[in-house]
Amino acid sequence: MTAVLSVRDLAIRSGPVELVSGVSFDLAGGERLGVIGESGSGKTLTALAAIGLLPAGLTASGQVLVHGHDLFQISERNRSALRGSRVAMVFQEPLSALNPTMRIGKQIAEAYRVHRPASRSQARARAIELLERVEFTDPVRQARAYPHQLSGGQRQRVMLAMAIACDPDVILADEPTTALDVTVQQQVLALLSRLAAEEGSALVLISHDLAVVSGMCERVMVLYGGRVAESGTTRQLLTAPRHPYTAALLASSAAVTLDGGGATPHTVLPVIRGQVPGAGAFPAGCPFRNRCDRATAECEQVPPLRAAAQGAPGGPKHQVACCHPLEEASDARPAP
């Protein structure tokens, strides 16, 4: 199957400090990839590089191919042409991503006209259509609202409308429900899933929570310290995680989702020992080794990403970057 997005050996630096290193993945049309990891793991930077929007002061190397066009080798004008039309992004905080001085209908219409030869009236009609698709109850009236006049869930629906305005091949969603309450989170995730299916768009869903992506994505890539710790099908990672970090994330998620009732007052929640280091402060070698009970002197060298034992022939590879991978799902114990 032809990849609509290919990332090859992506590295991102801030001066001498390497923030992301050696990240690679392919995304076929309509495929869904979950990217998980704690804050500071490199998830958002990877997505920003994939859409050509890295902040000033950061440099990137490797390749980001969108339908064969390398975003690192083409002009900003050509990157802008691909951004929004072929690859779109839904940001974590819509209030900061939307223009506070413009009505939302106009913002959607302008996003559409940038990439499509449409008149103002055609773009306004498209904006109303999109607001209806993202479940606004009175799109004609609500198109005249400013961002601050909308709820958090409504603002995120506006971002979804802008993302699908030009029928993109890839939608990147960066923690799209972080600022929303639980009920609205579920509504927005269901809407995102439906819209991606209707558009036939590939989806990259970024989250710190394995449980969030498990119901939406066929594959999962786990990042830690800017490196891929583990990748494979969602089933592989849920039933047989091989990296101690993946297992700890899974145990933490399971503790608050079992039986649908969450943790009781007497539940001891599993935690991962220590904290995520700041940029440039990860240990040499395996970035997780200072938080891992299985670490040995061998872990002072960067472990290669290699095939795990599981994996059906011809299917997505299950890969892990660990010198001492877990052999059984029952070994999945977070560090005390």
- Identify residue 138 by its one-letter amino acid code: D
Q: Count of CB atoms within 10 A of residue 195's CB?
A: 21
Give dist(CA 259, CA 254) in Å, integer. Answer: 10
> What whole-number distance in Å separates Cα of residue 209 and Cα of residue 249?
7
Contacts of residue 41, defined as CB under 8 A and 6 or more positions apart, other chains included, come to: 223, 224, 225, 226, 276
Residue 269's pLDDT is 59
pLDDT of residue 202: 96
Domains of the chain, residue spans: 241-336
| 3-state helix, strand and coil shares in percent for the chain, rounded to the nearest 5 | 35, 20, 45
Q: Please tell me the predicted confidence (pLDDT) of residue 1.
A: 66
According to the model, what pLDDT value does residue 315 have?
A: 61
Distance CA 161, CA 23 (A): 29
Average pLDDT, consecutive stretches of 10 residues, N- to C-terminus, the chain (336 residues): 91 96 95 95 95 93 93 92 92 90 96 93 97 96 96 94 94 89 88 94 90 89 97 92 93 58 54 88 95 95 86 72 80 41
CB-count exposure of residue 181 (10 Å: 0-12, 13-18, 19+): exposed
Q: Are 305 and 286 in contact (CB under 8 A)?
A: no
